Chain A
Amino acid sequence: MSATFVNARSLDEALAALAAGARPVAGGTDLVVAARSGKAPLPDSLLAIHELDELRGIERGEGLRLGALVTHAELADDDVVRTRYTALADACAIVGSVATRENGTIGGNLMNASPAMETGGPLVCFGATVTLRSATATRELPLADLLVGPGRTSAAADELLVAVDVPAPPPGAGSAYVRLEYRRQMEIAVVGATCVAALDGGRVSHARVAITALAPTVVRVSEAETALVGSDGGAEAALAAGEAAARAAAPIDDVRASAAYRRAMAAVITRRAVAAAVARANGVDVPVPASDSTYGRG
Chain B
Amino acid sequence: MKQPAVLEVNGVSYPVELEPGTSLLAAVRDVVGLTGSKEGCDDSECGACMMLLDGRPVNSCSYLALQAEGRRVTTVEGLAEHDVLHPLQQAFLEHAGVQCGFCTPGMLISATALLERNPAPTEHDVRIALSGNLCRCTGYDGIVKAVLAVGGQRY
Task: Tell me the A residues contacting B by CB distance below 8 Å.
Answer: 1-5, 7, 25, 28-29, 32-33, 35-37, 42, 46, 48, 50-51, 73, 96-100, 102-103, 184-186
B23 touches A36 (CB 8 A): yes
Residues of B within 8 A of A25 (CB): 64, 67
Residues of A within 8 A of B1 (CB): 3-4
Residues of B within 8 A of A29 (CB): 44, 59, 62
A97 touches B62 (CB 8 A): no
In the complex, the chain A residue whose C-beta lies closest to that of B20 is A5
How distant is the Cα of A102 from the Cα of B58 in the complex, in angstroms?
A: 8
Residues of B within 8 A of A102 (CB): 56-58
Residues of A within 8 A of B53 (CB): 103
A7 touches B132 (CB 8 A): no
A50 touches B132 (CB 8 A): no
- How many whole Å from B73's CB to the nearest CB in chain A? 13
- How many whole Å from A71's CB to the nearest CB in chain B? 9
How distant is the Cα of A169 from the Cα of B132 in the complex, in angstroms?
A: 33
Interface of B is mostly: mixed
A48 touches B67 (CB 8 A): yes
A98 touches B45 (CB 8 A): no
Instruction: Report which residue of B21, B50, B63 has the largest number of chain A beta carbons within 10 angstroms of its beta carbon.
Output: B21
In the complex, the chain B residue whose C-beta lies closest to that of A51 is B70
B66 touches A99 (CB 8 A): no
- How many whole Å from A72's CB to the nearest CB in chain B? 12
Residues of B within 8 A of A3 (CB): 1, 20
- How many whole Å from A48's CB to the nearest CB in chain B? 5
A1 touches B21 (CB 8 A): yes
A186 touches B64 (CB 8 A): no
Chain B 68-79 interface mask (CB, 8 Å, partner A; 1/0): 011000000000
A5 touches B23 (CB 8 A): no
Residues of B within 8 A of A37 (CB): 42-43
- How many whole Å from A287's CB to the nearest CB in chain B? 11
Residues of A within 8 A of B97 (CB): none
A-B contact pairs, 26 of them (CB 8 A): A2-B20, A5-B3, A5-B64, A7-B66, A7-B67, A25-B67, A28-B63, A29-B44, A29-B62, A32-B23, A32-B64, A33-B59, A37-B43, A42-B20, A46-B21, A50-B67, A73-B56, A97-B131, A98-B128, A98-B129, A98-B132, A99-B50, A99-B110, A102-B57, A103-B53, A103-B63
B61 touches A36 (CB 8 A): yes
How distant is the Cα of A32 from the Cα of B53 in the complex, in angstroms?
A: 16
A186 touches B67 (CB 8 A): no
Residues of A within 8 A of B3 (CB): 5
In the complex, the chain A residue whose C-beta lies closest to that of B61 is A36
B132 touches A1 (CB 8 A): no
A5 touches B66 (CB 8 A): yes
Does B113 sit within 8 A of A, measured CB to CB?
A: yes
- How many whole Å from A296's CB to the nearest CB in chain B? 22
Residues of A within 8 A of B69 (CB): 7
